[in-house]
Every structure is written in structure tokens, then in C-alpha cells.
Chain A
Amino acid sequence: MKRALSLLAVLMLALALTACGGKKDENKAGAADGIKIGSLGPLTGQYAADGNDMKNGVLAAIEVMGPEMGKLGPVTIQSEDDACDPRQAVAAANKLINEKVTAVIGAYCSSATIPASEPLMAAKIFMITPASTTEKVTERGMPYMYRTCGRDDDQSKAAVKFMTDQLKAKTLYIVDDKTTYSQGLADNVEKLGAGANLKVLGHEHVNQGDKDYSAVLTKVKAANPDVFYVSLQNSASAAPMLIQIARMGIKAKLLAQDAVYHPQLIALAKQAAEGVYLTFGYTDKTTPAYQKFLAAYKKYGEPGAYSAYSFDSTVAYLKAVKAAGSTDPDKVRAEMAKLDFDGASKHIKYKENGDSGSNYVIQVVKDGKFTNYWNPETGELFK
């Protein structure tokens, strides 16, 4: 009796927190027939927010495209968690192969996408990443590997061009958090910066998921660079850094990259996020395609950084399947090459290597919103 009472007490305490919010996650394993799309991304761990955004993008796309698939349908999703961990990503990819999915939308971290792609390619399963920007992803001669977002070599070019041409910076300090993506991008910026007469005062590495950056920021403050380039794996790591930058009174211009683009960044860092520049793919939010996406996505909340890319990746695959009239990998691949449509994020037209081109622009956080700021193509400010 006493035991039962104390058990009850624990349950009640645990439930006390339940009352204050949170939502359930529905994962339905679909029927055997039709088209089964795998969604791969970090659903737990520190990048869980981004992984869930991607999964929601796939769900929204299935909702929009599902009814159009006719006899090929129904379209179902099999969602797997890779926790951004290379080993778990391979295990999840193998599970998706067993579940007989014909395409995988994912993953988020380049360091998970690359190892997961190997078993998928061997099984002739499409992998379309909406978020992994590391160049290497599409440079391994894999016929079923596609990428809907941009590439880091282009992203670093845009970043350096902005620093030299628009900010007229002479000195630069770089921090990354040592992931395939964040360090790759930071190294690119360092290399390009050195070629463009940007003096790199320091390049520090912090640990993934760190919250205390005071030591490294004290160094940055002492170095007093014109621009501080922040290359972190996601918005939840960047928010505490921005708060601490503001607290330390670092006057350098801040430039971040696509992974920290997320409504969460502003929600968490608030005032400290104001004036932060970041490189992100250009999306015209007034197009009918974007509005259609937004309407379908609404029930999942505000779109994250890769929600629209994830949506487009799924739509692209389903369009190709529809045109091919089957999920046969080679037929679908032929149709993927012919795709040419206005997606929610950008115009989708895949190249031979699976890339879809980059269109990085500089955005700035202004009045609590991400706003287009500068176009590296034209070297002009957005109106």
C-alpha cells in the first residue's frame, strides 16, 4: 500500500509538468501498398527541433501531393530518428530499407547523411537531403543522391563577399563547433577570407551543444575583430552564444550561417539576436507555391529553417513518381532529371550530380524577424 502510494506520488509529480504544455508525436506505420517515404533526421537529442521540422515538411507534402497520386497511392511516411549520430543514421537507414521505403528525405547533419547514404544507394533508394550542405554529399557519384538546399562552397563565397564588399571588414574571427558541416564551412571561410585580404585573427573550435562560451568570447573580445563568423550546428547552440556576445559587449559584426536560421533563434536570444547577419538560401515568401506550403504546414506551427526544403524534396520525388507511373528507381531517376517547377523554397531543377544550385543571400534579424538584407549576386541591398 505504502509502495503504491509513493509510486502514485512520483507519477503525479511527473504529470505536474505535463499540464504545462508539450505535444504528442504521431508516427503511423502505413499500409503495405502505395508509396512509402522514409523521413530521416534527428528527432531526439540536441538537433531534435530541426529533425522534427523536416519530418513535418514531409508530412505536409504528403498531405498536398497524396490525393494527386491516384492509383500509385496512398503515400505513407516512415519516420526514423538518427539523432545526428553517424552510427545511428546507418542503423536507421537499414531499418528504412527493411521497411521497403522507395525514397528517404533526410538527413539533417551532413555527418549523418553521408554514412546513411551508402546502404541506401546500394539498395537503389532515393535520398534527397533538404538540409545537408557539405559539398561532399553530392560529390560521390551516387545516382540516387539529391540535394534541395545549397552547398557550403557557395555559402562561404557569399559570406566572404559580404564581409569584404558590404561590411568592408579587414579582420575576422571564426568559431565553429567541429561538425562535418560547421567546421567545413568555417574552414572554407577562413581559406577564402585569407585570399580576400581578410586577416583571420583566430579560429576557435567549441564543443557541440556547449552552453558556456564565456572563455572563447573573452578571447574574441580581446582580439577585437571587425567581423565575428559564427559557424554552429543549430539555433539552440547559437542562441546562448548571441546572449553572451551581447553581455560581453562585443562590438564586431556577427555573421552566422544557414543552420542557425530558425524562428527559435529569435525566440531564445530575443534582443541579442537583433542585427545578426546570416547566409541563407533565398526564398520568396510571396509566391503561390510558398503560400500553398504555408497553408499545409500551418498545423505544425511556424516553419523551421528546412521545413520548406523538406516539403519540396518530397513533392519533387512524388512528382517524379507520378510522371514515371511507378516507383521503379531508374524510371523515377529519368523523371527526376526532367523536373522543373516552382517549389516553396525556390525553383527546383536538379542537376546531373543531384544538386539543385545555391542561391545564398544575406539576411539580417530586424525587429524580431529574419529579413532579406543583401544580395551577393548583384552586390546590392534588398529594398
Chain B
Amino acid sequence: MAGGLRPQKARTPVEFFLQQLVNGVTLGGVYALVALGYTMVYGIIQLINFAHGEIYASGGYMGVILISWLFAHGFPPMVCLGAALILAMGYCALLAMALEKVAYKPLRQSSRLSVLLSALGMSIFLQNGLMLTQGVYDRAYPTEMVQGGFHVHGVIVSYMQCIIVGLTVLLLVLLNLLVYRTRIGKAMRATAQDKTMSALVGINSSRIISVTFAIGAGLAAAAGIMVGLYYGSVRYDMGFVPGIKAFSAAVLGGIGNITGAMLGGLLIGVIEVFAAGYISSEYKDVFAFIILIAVLYFMPTGIMGENVDDTRI
């Protein structure tokens, strides 16, 4: 009994700062992964895909189903995580492609408002679908799978945080390679710049749009799984708040810009954590959005956003 009340060494302000930085970068990495889906889809068809948060939640659910099953059957943690990541990313990629075919493609020639409403509708459909099929209760991830961590000068870094940051970096590098070093990436960039012109030179824009949705969804699924493992549970409505935050991150970075989304996600995560750490956790969202408004006031296209001529918008 008395053992628990043993005094601990108080922390120095530097350690406090570093600890908050570690927390912020972890959170920011997740936002960045989700933000990429928004920004890539916007870049290519100028649509805010409101159902993206639900794709992320679906990834989280697929992850819990797969990981629980694999872990219960005695597979080593890294195998569980790897297999679940690949399968859930694949599942979400298919889901997003189907979503695009059913809800967005038929509206390609319609006004942008119709597509936006269709996206909102799909978001509600998917969220309620998750609620009806998976129940209203939180589902537990086997958090015992990845436990522990290490100290560096009084700053605690958990292994789960390492995995999140490591995996985020890996996925971001892969994405950059894909977009800037492959033919399909070139086609994506071309389609984003000018759909008609790229179609004229033989790029199948429908396919490219599909691929873009799939990639964004895959990244969101990875984020969903890592969040589930980090916080220990998933719930059918888990996609809403991170969806809004990631969307803000995409706007902050300059919507349509991939590097911008990564930067925006990281910034929102770090700002949120520092606002909570130094000011008040009550107002952390307020600060994140104040920064967003301030950036947009001075840089209307976001941090990395380019000026685009009116014909594209």
C-alpha cells in the first residue's frame, strides 16, 4: 500500500517539453496518414471525401477482427500486425474503390455540390453500417501484444509509439516513391493537373482516380489499426473526429499537396498536444483551429499550397 505513494523524481521543464513532443509527433503521424487520403482525392477530382473518416474506422475494425483472431491463434505479434495491416489496407482500398464507383463516378458530370452530398451520405451509411454490424460497444484490441517502452533521460517512449512513427515514415516514403518515381504516379500527377489533357495523351483517368482512392484508403486503414492498438479500442463512430482533424490538416498543409498534408498532420498533432500541455486540454481543439484560421488568413492556399488558376476550380 505505502509503496505506491513513494515520491518520484520531479521532471525538468526540458523533459516535459520533450515528452509532449513525442506525444505530439505520434498523434501527428496518424493525422498525416489520414490527411493524405483527403488531399490526394481532392487533388485529383476536387472532392472533399467526407466518407474518408469512415474508411479509417473500417480499417480499425478490420484490424481488430484480424489481429484478435491471429493473436488468439498464437502468431507472433509482428506477424499479426503485418498480416492485419496488409489485409485491412487491401480491404479498405477495395471498399474505397467500390465507394467511388457507386457514389462518386456516376456524378462526375454533376455539380460539385451533388458529389459532396453523396460523400456525406456515404459517410452516414458507412458509419451506421459499422454500428449495425459491429454493435455499439467498443471493441478491444489485444494491447498486450505490444507492451513496454524505454526511457531516454526521463522521457518515456513506448514501443507502440515507435511502431506508429516508424510505420508512418515508411508509408510516407513509399507514397513519395510511388507518386514521384513510378509511371502510375506520373499519371496521377498528370490527371491532377489536367484531366482532359491527360486523357488525350492516353491516360485512363477513371483508373487513375480509382487508384488514388485506393491508396488514400490504404493509408487510412493503416492509421485506423495503429490508433486501435495505441488507444486499445475502436468504436463505430471513431472516424468522425480524426476525420475532421485530418481534413483540417490537409487544408492547413495546402489541400491537394501531398507533402503539405504530411506537414499539416504533424503540425495539428503537435499543436494540439502542446496546447493541452501548456495551456489547457480543454481548449486543445480550439488552438488547433485557431492556427488553421491564422494560416489560412495569411496563406489562403495553405502552407505548401500553390496558386491555381480559376479554370481548375
Contact = CB atoms under 8 A, between A and B. Distances in A.
A273 to B, nearest CB: 10
Interface string B132-143: 111111101001
A48 B156 contact: no
A243 B99 contact: no
B247 interface: no
Given A218-B16, A268-B138, A269-B232, A178 B99 contact: no
Contacts of B277: 215-216, 218-219
Interface stretch (B173-181, B233-241, B294-302): B233-241
B101 A6 contact: yes
Given A17-B61, A17-B134, A268-B138, A247 B102 contact: no
Interface in B266-313: 272-277, 280-282, 284-285
A219 B10 CA distance: 11
B76 interface: no
Interface residues of A, number: 62
Interface in A1-25: 3, 6-7, 9-10, 13-18, 20-23
A209 interface: yes
A353 interface: no
B126 to A, nearest CB: 8
B23 to A, nearest CB: 4
Nearest to B106: A3
B138 A205 contact: no
B149 A14 contact: no
A264 B139 CA distance: 9
B143 A270 contact: yes
Contacts of A236: 138, 233, 235
Interface in A258-308: 264, 267-272
Interface string B236-278: 0110010000000000000000000000000000001111110
A272 B106 CA distance: 49
Interface stretch (A88-96, A147-155, A248-256, A323-331): A248-256
A206 B94 contact: no
Among A20, A215, A249, A264, find the residue whose CB has the most chain B CB atoms closer than 10 A.
A215
Contact of B133 (A14, A169, A205, A210): A14
A343 B280 CA distance: 44
A21 B133 CA distance: 7
A271 B144 contact: yes
Given A215-B281, A247-B158, A251-B4, A221 B11 contact: yes
A73 to B, nearest CB: 30
Given A13-B95, A16-B91, A253 B231 contact: no
5 contacts: A13-B91, A15-B133, A17-B62, A252-B4, A272-B143
